[in-house]
């Protein structure tokens, strides 16, 4: 399509500033997946109901299918690619959600993923809940916090268990040392 | 085959790392350069004649490449064959992938637009002008079978796709003489697999790649990427309807975001997308959107059953009858009425019942086509027999567990012919029930119920049994049915020059962990370290032929058997070379952890052997031929039947009638457990899916055939807060005819969920057993029951 009607915007994605030309009706999920090539953010419904497209947007959990790309101008966005992998050398700002890689390890231990389609959203939502709960984490709070994320495969048990396990450990032992 | 594989039992999944960091590619993550996008125009009405289609405005919109109608589809393809056309006199629709003159459900494809972007294609879909001459919608099986009912397929005399009947002993006539007879009318709602990833396909039918196809006059090789559970089946169907040789078609499967049977069926969108690519000369991509998925992905379950059970006064069951009527859709899906028909084989479940008579009938209605969903028809069959036994227990005032124990097939009767065509091959069914009871008793479930009841809460426990037919075969037996489908599985195992092993399988991974389990099986049989084994699937050029695909729980009994036998063959080749390299006799060698050792510490690694086999042949005597590769085709002797018992604890809210499941425990016997975490994950995940369709999920229509459930806000799938604490316990009876020693388990969790929850709700409430007759459970019904039963 012609450039008329597209908007230019700049977004910081996974710690790097990038410029995009976007159609007014493009969603942020489309921008991330199609223009930025970050396909780790999944589309399960485009209706705001499944949580597969969850990203970190200016520090908050956001469903990227519900947000227009133009609304993301000058924001700071983190996707699973940036959050789960060790930072590249040229990354300018520190990676948020420091607990996420550890939660990913717990997912693996607890068989908290099968097809993995819900997993990026679950990891981001799960880490935010874990961090928000602080010392007061328990299964009920995690289940409630994950009530916007659908998993069709696992039955959730391993997911909930992983969040509780990782963030219980973190708060009881902030230095992250393994208990004896 | 137990033994050294215990070493690998607890191995973590090889699939996980790339899924956890978002790097694994699913279908919508792929897009070849120059890809166009296709959007489907779907009928907004349930039943109508297509009076006219005007595509002029749509075709002339900027960015639109072509608009396809039924006429184009009929020029480029032949009617879609039905894979499960296995019942004598099963009728045919001869329908194409797109409606040509009549639409038969909301969502039926009437046209398709190919455009530069999906957004343009969707806009252009809205610009197509279609006139429909409305016909009366036939929405349920009773209306569809009335004498003057509108006929959906005009060449048929009525709306019945097929009827099948199976009897044993004296059939239903044995009921008459029974001491006690109980009759039940049961009704199961419509649900579907609903994977979190919707369906998608990319077809690239250009002039590329293949000189051969030019010779045969076609436009070039057709490459199809899609998220199907059965790539070889798709390849054959596309070959047939598009008139391309199988070899001129390459089907590839990327990571799949859940299948649950919904992706085992093949669909019209796949055919239409291929034709679109042919017409446009560019790759074309179709991604189903969520709303479409509720009308376009196969629906399932939906059946009415009229059931009778007869017993002696002491509770010995003498006869069982079930008339099952399945609510099919407006067109026939790739599995025909297979899921309904299963009741004729599975009907008597875990029990020995000398006389049975089961009839199944598939009736067309103006709903979305009916197809596969995890469990196929077995959860329905389970509901019929388990409900009947509960109602009988109530009538005879016998404890439901005692009544079950009295009538279950006993271990000494194995293998047991159930009289309906299935051989229950192995296991100790009553022990599974006793163990379940013991485990939940020890875990304090009954004390918890007593406490809760004394506090005025409605809490109860349900305990039921199931069987699960897995690994369907044998290919020759299947071939004698009027269907073209085998049940064998081919595996190729190859060691490379670095000693790394690739297992090529025709199975498909969709979350169930085959890249891990098949690697475990190969490593064990070969003597490799499991980390040195890679599993390759989902490419019909490089991977072997497995016609059936991944469905009906085939990986553990069938694919694992072929992988194991091929790996043993490869082990023989490796040992032979090792003997030559070490100058020792083969009998002196041991093989483990990717190395071969002699009696006094002599050793060659798989890497040494691989180097010799590919790059330094001079190290080997002349009689060795280069390379290391083995192939095996395993054709199952018969199905192998998994089984088990489950217990659930539920609470019914006295104010709302809503049911929560508080606890779940399963005792499952799927033979040898290759990877406990993966097996438990299958059992629990399957249970939660059917917990959904028992308590909250239902695909509903209004009387005109408009779907009422088209988003996750109307079709409620279980969320984290809806699931109970779940535990799984195993028995491991090795089936006699399965080399891998394993039975399938992917559907086990689905089998008994409806039955167990229904029984638990009855246990929680006053009024005895057997009165719950319909699924999903209606809170209104439960409130009404509570009102009527409490003074
Ligand atoms: S894709 Fe955004 S919430 Fe489902
Ligand atoms: S792992 Fe498949 S949807 Fe969650």
Domain with B450, as residue range(s), is 376-470+639-789
- What does the DSSP assignment read for B710-776? -STTTS----GGG--EEEEEEE-PPPTT-TT-B---TTHHHHTHHHHHHHHHHHHSSS-SS---EES
What the block records as the tokens of B588 is 């002196």
pLDDT tens, residue by residue, B668-686: 999 999 999 999 999 999 9
Tell me the domain boundaries of chain A.
Answer: 7-84, 100-172
Q: How far apart are CA B210 and CA B256, in angstroms?
A: 28
Cα distances (angstroms) measured from residue A156 to each of B378, B483, B661, B723, B753: 24, 39, 14, 8, 17
Give the three-state DSSP class for B779: helix
The DSSP 8-state label assigned to residue B79 in this structure reads P
What the block records as the tokens of A177 is 């040392």
Q: Measuring from atom 4 of ligand 2, which residue has the nearest CA?
A: A151
Cα distances (angstroms) measured from residue B224 to each of A60, B476, B506: 39, 30, 16
- Residues with Cβ within 8 Å of A140's Cβ and at least 6 positions away in sequence, in order, are none
Q: How far apart are CA B344 and CA B331, in angstroms?
A: 23
Cα distances (angstroms) measured from residue B709 to each of A44, A176, B190: 16, 46, 11
Q: How far apart are CA A15 and CA A83, in angstroms?
A: 10
Question: Which strands form B48-54's sheet, in the order they lie side by side?
Answer: B102-103, B48-54, B129-134
Quote the number of domains for chain B: 3
How far from each other are the two terminal CA atoms of chain B, in whole angstroms? 60
Examine the domain organization and report whether B397 and B500 are in the same domain. Answer: no
Would B453 be classed as within a structural domain?
yes
Could you tell me if B263 and B199 are in contact, meaning their C-beta atoms sit under 8 angstroms apart?
yes
Q: How far apart are CA B19 and CA B196, in angstroms?
A: 15
Lowest mean pLDDT among B143-147, B167-171, B483-487, B531-535: B483-487
Question: Which ligand is located closest to the Cα atom of residue A118?
Answer: 2
Query: Under CATH, what is the fold of the domain A100-172?
Result: DNA polymerase; domain 1 (1.10.150)
Chain centroid to CA B614: 41
Residue with token string 């395993």: B634
pLDDT tens, residue by residue, B108-159: 999 999 999 999 999 999 999 999 999 999 999 999 999 999 999 999 999 9
Cα distances (angstroms) measured from residue B790 to each of A132, B341, B457, B651: 45, 41, 13, 17
- Mean of pLDDT values over B299-306: 98
pLDDT tens, residue by residue, B66-86: 999 999 999 999 999 999 988
Examine the domain organization and report whether B614 and B697 are in the same domain. Answer: no
Q: What is the 3-state secondary structure (H, E, C) of B575-628?
A: HHHHHHHHCCCHHHCEEECCEEECCCCCEEEHHHHHHHHHCCHHHCCCCCCCCE
How far from each other are the two terminal CA atoms of chain A, in whole angstroms? 61
Would B368 be classed as within a structural domain?
no
Q: Which of B751, B770, B777 is nearest to B650 (CA)?
A: B777
- Residues with Cβ within 8 Å of B169's Cβ and at least 6 positions away in sequence, in order, are B319, B354, B355, B356, B419
Find out whether the beta carbon of B196 lies less than 6 Å from any atom of ligand 2.
Answer: yes
More confident residue, B216 or B626: B626
Examine the domain organization and report whether B495 and B532 are in the same domain. Answer: yes
Closest CA of chain B from A36, distance in Å: 12
Domain end, chosen from B583, B599, B634, is at: B634
Q: Which residues of A touch B257 (CB under 8 A)?
A: 42, 44, 115-117
Taking the model in full, what pTM does it have?
Answer: 0.96
What the block records as the tokens of B308 is 């009778």
Question: Which ligand is located closest to the Cα atom of residue A116?
Answer: 2
Q: How far is the CA of A112 from the centre of ligand 2 (A)?
A: 8
Q: Which of B486, B445, B223, B182 is nearest to B317 (CA)?
A: B182
Would B338 be classed as within a structural domain?
no
Per-residue buried b or exposed e for B209-224, using 16+ beta carbons within 10 Å of the residue's own CB: ebeebeeeebebbbbb
Query: What is the pLDDT, as a whole number, of residue B213?
Result: 45
Q: With DSSP H G I counted as helix, E B as strand and the rest as coil, what are the percentages for chain B, rounded to 5?
A: 35, 25, 40
Q: Which of B490, B519, B739, B516 is nearest to B630 (CA)?
A: B490
Find out whether the beta carbon of A151 lies less than 6 Å from any atom of ligand 2.
Answer: yes
Helices assigned H by DSSP within B320-412 = 338-341, 343-346, 378-396, 400-407
Query: What is the pLDDT, as a whole number, of residue B210?
Result: 45
Find out whether the beta carbon of A134 lies less than 6 Å from any atom of ligand 2.
Answer: no
Q: How far apart are CA B327 and CA B365, in angstroms?
A: 7
pLDDT tens, residue by residue, B732-783: 999 999 999 999 999 999 999 999 999 999 999 999 999 999 999 999 999 9
Query: What is the pLDDT, as a whole number, of residue A93?
Result: 76
pLDDT tier at B528 (50, 70, 90 boundaries)?
very high
Domain end, chosen from B591, B617, B634, is at: B634
Q: Does domain A7-84 have CATH number 3.10.20.30?
A: yes
Q: Which atom of ligand 2 is nearest to the CA of A115?
A: 2
More confident residue, A69 or B6: A69
| Count of beta carbons in the 10 Å neighbourhood of residue B229 | 25
Those residues of chain A that have pLDDT short of 50 are 1-3, 176-180
Would B144 be classed as within a structural domain?
no
Is pLDDT of B313 > 80? yes
Closest alpha carbon within chain A to B513: A114
Q: Which residues of B touch A143 (CB under 8 A)?
A: 719-721
Is pLDDT of B217 > 70? no
pLDDT tens, residue by residue, B260-287: 999 998 999 999 999 999 999 999 999 9
Lowest mean pLDDT among A18-27, B548-557, B601-610: B548-557
Is pLDDT of B345 > 60? yes
What the block records as the tokens of B360 is 């199944």
Would B93 be classed as within a structural domain?
yes
Q: Which of B304, B401, B420 is nearest to B354 (CA)?
A: B420
Examine the domain organization and report whether B602 and B645 are in the same domain. Answer: no
- Averaged pLDDT score across all residues of chain B: 95
Q: Which of B662, B700, B195 is nearest to A151 (CA)?
A: B195
Query: What is the pLDDT, as a whole number, of residue A169?
Result: 73
Cα distances (angstroms) measured from residue B625 to each of B158, B617, B619: 64, 9, 12
E strand residue ranges, B55-139: 64-69, 102-103, 109-115, 129-134
Examine the domain organization and report whether B496 and B548 are in the same domain. Answer: yes
- What does the DSSP assignment read for B225-272? EE--S-HHHHHHHHHHHHT--GGGEEEE--B-S--TTTTTS--HHHHH
When scoring A49, A115, A149, A158 by the number of chain B Cβ atoms within 10 A, the one with the most, hence best to mutate, is A115
Name the strand (E) or helix (H) holding B688.
helix B676-695
Q: How far apart are CA B681 and CA A111, in angstroms?
A: 7
Examine the domain organization and report whether B781 and B666 are in the same domain. Answer: yes
Could you tell me if B740 and B672 are in contact, meaning their C-beta atoms sit under 8 angstroms apart?
yes
Q: How many residues does chain B have?
A: 791
Domain end, chosen from B588, B609, B634, is at: B634
Smallest Cβ–Cβ distance between A155 and the set B255, B510, B684 belongs to B684
List the CATH number of the domain containing B408: 3.30.365.10
Is pLDDT of B394 > 90? yes
Q: Which residues of B touch A111 (CB under 8 A)?
A: 13, 677-678, 680-681
Is the CB of residue A138 less than 8 Å away from at least one CB of chain B?
Answer: no
E strand residue ranges, B108-239: 109-115, 129-134, 160-168, 180-191, 200-205, 222-226
Examine the domain organization and report whether B610 and B683 are in the same domain. Answer: no
Examine the domain organization and report whether B242 and B96 are in the same domain. Answer: yes
| Count of beta carbons in the 10 Å neighbourhood of residue B75 | 10
**What are the φ/ψ torsions at residue B345 (nearest 5 degrees)?**
-105, -35
Strand pairing of B774-775 and B180-191?
Answer: parallel
Examine the domain organization and report whether B229 and B100 are in the same domain. Answer: yes
Is the CB of residue A150 less than 8 Å away from at least one CB of chain B?
Answer: yes
Is the CB of residue A107 less than 8 Å away from at least one CB of chain B?
Answer: yes
pLDDT tens, residue by residue, B365-382: 999 999 999 999 999 999
Q: Which residues of A touch B256 (CB under 8 A)?
A: 115
Cα distances (angstroms) measured from residue A32 to each of A13, A42, A48, A128, B260: 9, 10, 16, 21, 29
What the block records as the tokens of B10 is 């607890």
Cα–Cα–Cα angle for B37, B226, A151, nearest 5°? 100
Name the strand (E) or helix (H) holding B686.
helix B676-695
CB atoms A1 and B116 under 8 Å: yes
Examine the domain organization and report whether B435 and B482 are in the same domain. Answer: no
What the block records as the tokens of B512 is 């169930």
Question: Which strands form B590-592's sheet, in the order they lie side by side?
Answer: B590-592, B595-597, B603-605
Could you tell me if B307 and B384 are in contact, meaning their C-beta atoms sit under 8 angstroms apart?
yes
Closest CA of chain A from B148, distance in Å: 41
When scoring B12, B22, B117 by the number of chain A Cβ atoms within 10 A, the one with the most, hence best to mutate, is B22
Examine the domain organization and report whether B611 and B567 are in the same domain. Answer: yes
List the CATH number of the domain containing B73: 3.90.1170.50
Examine the domain organization and report whether B782 and B688 are in the same domain. Answer: yes
Mutate to test the pocket of ligand 2, among A114, A124, A159, A162 (most ligand atoms within 8 A of CB): A114
CB atoms B258 and A149 under 8 Å: no
Closest CA of chain A from B416, distance in Å: 33
Q: How far apart are CA B515 and CA B523, in angstroms?
A: 12
Q: Which atom of ligand 2 is nearest to the CA of B257?
A: 2
Query: Residue B155, class by beta-carbon neighbours within 10 Å (0-12 exposed, 13-18 middle, 19+ buried)?
Result: exposed
């Amino acid at each position: 399509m012609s450039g008329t009607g597209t908007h230019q915007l700049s977004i910081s994605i996974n710690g790097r500033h990038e410029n995009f030309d976007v159609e007014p009706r493009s969603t942020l999920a489309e921008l991330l997946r199609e223009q930025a090539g970050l396909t780790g953010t999944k589309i399960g419904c485009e209706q705001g109901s499944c949580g597969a497209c969850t990203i970190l947007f200016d520090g908050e959990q956001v469903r990227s299918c519900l947000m227009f790309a133009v609304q993301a101008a000058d924001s700071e966005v983190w996707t699973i690619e940036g959050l789960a992998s060790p930072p590249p050398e040229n990354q300018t700002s520190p990676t948020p959600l420091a607990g996420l890689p550890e939660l990913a390890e717990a997912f693996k231990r607890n068989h908290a993923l099968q097809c993995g389609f819900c997993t990026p959203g679950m990891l981001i939502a799960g880490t935010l809940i874990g961090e928000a709960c602080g010392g007061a984490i328990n299964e009920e709070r995690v289940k409630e916090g994950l009530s916007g994320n659908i998993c069709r495969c696992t039955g959730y048990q391993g997911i909930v268990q992983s969040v509780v396990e990782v963030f219980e450990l973190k708060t009881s032992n902030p230095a992250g040392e393994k208990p004896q | 085959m137990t033994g050294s594989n215990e070493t690998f039992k607890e191995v973590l999944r090889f699939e996980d790392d790339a899924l956890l960091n978002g790097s694994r590619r699913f279908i919508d993550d792929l897009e070849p350069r120059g890809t166009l996008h296709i959007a489907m125009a779907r009928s907004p009405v349930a039943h109508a004649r297509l009076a006219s289609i005007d595509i002029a405005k749509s075709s002339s919109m900027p960015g639109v490449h072509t608009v396809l109608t039924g006429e184009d589809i009929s020029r480029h393809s032949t009617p879609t064959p039905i894979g499960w056309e296995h019942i004598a006199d099963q009728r045919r629709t001869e329908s194409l992938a797109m409606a040509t003159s009549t639409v038969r459900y909301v969502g039926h494809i009437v046209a398709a637009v190919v455009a530069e972007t999906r957004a343009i294609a969707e806009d252009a879909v809205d610009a197509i002008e279609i006139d429909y001459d409305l016909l009366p919608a036939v929405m349920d099986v009773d209306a569809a079978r009335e004498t003057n009912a509108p006929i959906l397929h005009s060449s048929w005399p009525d709306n019945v796709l097929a009827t099948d009947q199976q009897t044993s002993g004296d059939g239903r006539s044995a009921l008459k003489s029974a001491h006690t007879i109980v009759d039940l009318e049961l009704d199961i709602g419509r649900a579907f697999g609903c994977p979190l990833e919707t369906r998608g396909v990319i077809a690239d039918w250009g002039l590329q790649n293949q000189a051969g196809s030019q010779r045969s006059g076609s436009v070039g090789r057709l490459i199809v990427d899609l998220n199907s559970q059965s790539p070889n089946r798709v390849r054959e169907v596309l070959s047939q309807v598009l008139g391309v040789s199988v070899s001129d078609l390459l089907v590839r499967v990327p990571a799949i975001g859940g299948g649950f049977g919904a992706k085992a069926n093949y669909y019209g969108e796949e055919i239409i997308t291929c034709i679109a690519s042919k017409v446009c000369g560019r790759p074309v991509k179709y991604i189903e959107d969520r709303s479409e998925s509720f009308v376009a992905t196969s629906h399932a379950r939906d059946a009415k059953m009229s059931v009778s059970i007869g017993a002696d006064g002491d509770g010995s069951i003498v006869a069982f009858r079930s008339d099952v009527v399945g609510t099919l859709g407006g067109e026939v899906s790739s599995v025909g009425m297979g899921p309904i028909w299963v009741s004729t084989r599975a009907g008597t479940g875990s029990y020995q019942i000398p006389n049975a008579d089961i009839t199944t009938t598939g009736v067309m209605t103006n709903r979305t086509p009916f197809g596969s969903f995890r469990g196929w028809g077995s959860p329905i069959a389970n509901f019929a027999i388990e409900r009947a036994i509960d109602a009988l227990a109530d009538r005879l005032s016998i404890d439901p567990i005692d009544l079950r124990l009295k009538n279950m097939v006993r271990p000494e009767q194995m293998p047991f012919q159930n009289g309906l065509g299935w051989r229950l091959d192995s296991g100790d069914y009553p022990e599974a029930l006793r163990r379940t009871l013991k485990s939940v008793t020890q875990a304090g479930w009954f004390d918890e119920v007593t406490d809760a009841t004394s506090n005025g809460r409605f809490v109860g426990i349900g305990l039921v049994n199931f069987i699960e037919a897995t690994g369907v075969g044998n290919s020759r037996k299947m071939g004698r049915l009027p269907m073209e489908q085998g049940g064998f599985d081919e595996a190729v195992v190859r060691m490379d020059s670095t000693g790394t092993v690739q297992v090529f399988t025709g199975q498909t991974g969709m979350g169930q962990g085959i890249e891990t389990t098949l690697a475990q099986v190969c490593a064990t049989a070969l003597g490799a370290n499991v980390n040195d084994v890679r599993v390759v699937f989902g490419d019909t050029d490089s991977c072997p032929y497995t016609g059936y695909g991944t469905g009906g729980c085939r990986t553990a009994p069938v694919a694992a058997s072929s992988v194991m036998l091929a790996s043993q063959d490869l082990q023989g080749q490796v040992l032979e070379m090792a003997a030559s390299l070490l100058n020792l006799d083969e009998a002196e060698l041991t093989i483990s952890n990717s190395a071969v050792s002699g009696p006094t510490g002599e050793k060659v690694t798989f890497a040494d052997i691989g180097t010799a086999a590919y790059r330094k042949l001079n190290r080997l005597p002349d009689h060795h031929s280069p390379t290391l590769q083995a192939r095996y085709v395993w054709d199952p002797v018969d199905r192998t039947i998994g089984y088990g018992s489950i217990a659930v604890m539920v609470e019914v809210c006295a104010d709302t009638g809503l049911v929560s499941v508080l606890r779940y425990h399963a005792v499952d016997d799927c033979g040898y457990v290759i990877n406990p975490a993966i097996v438990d994950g299958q059992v629990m995940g399957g249970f939660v899916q059917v917990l959904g369709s028992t308590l909250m999920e239902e695909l509903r229509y209004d009387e005109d055939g408009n779907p009422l459930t088209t988003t996750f806000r109307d079709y409620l799938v279980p969320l984290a807060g809806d699931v109970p604490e779940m535990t799984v316990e195993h028995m491991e009876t090795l089936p006699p005819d399965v080399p891998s020693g394993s039975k399938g388990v992917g559907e086990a969790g689905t089998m008994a969920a409806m039955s167990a929850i229904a029984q638990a709700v009855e246990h929680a409430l006053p009024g005895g057993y057997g009165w719950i007759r319909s699924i999903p459970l209606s809170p209104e019904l439960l409130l009404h029951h509570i009102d009527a039963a409490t003074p």
